[in-house]
Amino acid sequence: MAHISPAIIMRTRDLGESDLLVTFFTPDRGQLTGIAKGARKSRKRFANCLDLFCLVNMEYEPQRKSSLFFLHSGKLVKTFCGLRTDFSSLALASYLVELTEILFPTGVVELDMFELLKNSYNSLNEGRNNEIIRIFFEARAMMLAGYGINFERCCKCGRTYTGKGRAVFQADKGGISCLGCEHESRLSPGMGADTINQFKVMQSETETKWGKLSLTGEMIEEIKPVLKLHIEYRTDRRLKTAKYL
C-alpha cells in the first residue's frame, strides 16, 4: 500500500538509462531508499522535487523481496534555495546530511531528528550564522542519537558540577572532569561555565528556539573542538564533508 509523507532528499544517483536511486529522510520511517522509475526522462511525476536537500511530499511503497521502495510521485514543498547561494552553506548542508545518515541509519526512526534537519535547512535558507547552525545541529543530533554529553558531575571523582568554574571534556567518558582530576589540553578541551550552560540548552530534550541561545565568539570556539572530538569518538570516523567546512 502506498504511503505519503514529508521527506528531505538526501542523495540521488543515476540508475540504468532513465531511473534514479533516491535516498530520503522521513519523520515516521527515518532514512529510506527508493527507485524513481523514468525520473530522468519524464519529470511529470517528480516535477523539480528530486534535487538534493529539497523538502517534498513523497508517495512511495515497499517492493516485494527488497529493502528498496518504489517511488510513485513527489510534490515539491520547499527548495531551500538560499542554502545554495554560496559554497559554505552548500557544504554545511551536505555535512548535516552525512551526520544524519551516520547517526540515524535505515531502520532508526526519530521524529525530532527530521524536524531538526528541516529547521536547520530553514535557518541556512534565511542566512543565519553557519557556525551556530552547525554546532546547534551537532549537539542536538548527538543527544537525539543517545550520545548527549553528561554535564552533571565529574566523570572521574563524581563531584557534582554546580555550574561554576571551568570543566574539561573527556571524549572516552562522554562527560566532563573537574580541573582537580584533569588538565586542559588539545585532547581534553576546557569550557567555561557560560559555555557549558549554553551547551546544555542546545542539548535540551525540548525544542530549543534560536532566541534562547546567547553564544559569543569565545563560546563557539570552546564548543567546536569538544563536538569534533565527541562526534569522531562516538561514530569512530571523520566525516568526509567536514574537510570542506
* Domain boundaries, given as residue ranges, for the chain: 3-79, 83-148+185-244
Q: Could you read off the pLDDT of 139-172 as tens digits, one per residue? A: 999 999 999 999 999 999 999 999 999 999 999 9
pLDDT higher than 90, residue 207: no
CATH assignment of 3-79? 2.40.50.140
Contact 58, 14 (CB under 8 A): no
- Higher pLDDT, residue 37 or 208: 37
Kindly state the cell numbers that stand for 4.
Answer: 505519503
pLDDT reported for residue 174: 97
Is the CATH code 2.60.40 the one for domain 83-148+185-244?
A: no
Decide: helix, strand or coil at residue 174: coil
- Print burial letters for 35-69: b (CB count within 10 Å at least 16), e (below 16): bbbebbeeeebbeebbebbbbbebbbeeeeeeeeb
pLDDT reported for residue 208: 53
> Alpha carbon of 203 to those of 122, 179, 196, 218: distances in Å?
19, 23, 10, 19
Nearest CA among 161, 113, 90, 87 for reference residue 6: 113
> What does the angle CA 33 – CA 87 – CA 218 come to, to the nearest 5 degrees?
105
pLDDT reported for residue 99: 98
Per-residue pLDDT, averaged over 61-79, amounts to 91
Per-residue pLDDT, averaged over 223-233, amounts to 97
User: How far is 113 from 13, CA to CA, in rounded Å?
Assistant: 24
Neighbours of 231 (CB within 10 A): 23
16 pLDDT band (50/70/90 cuts)? confident
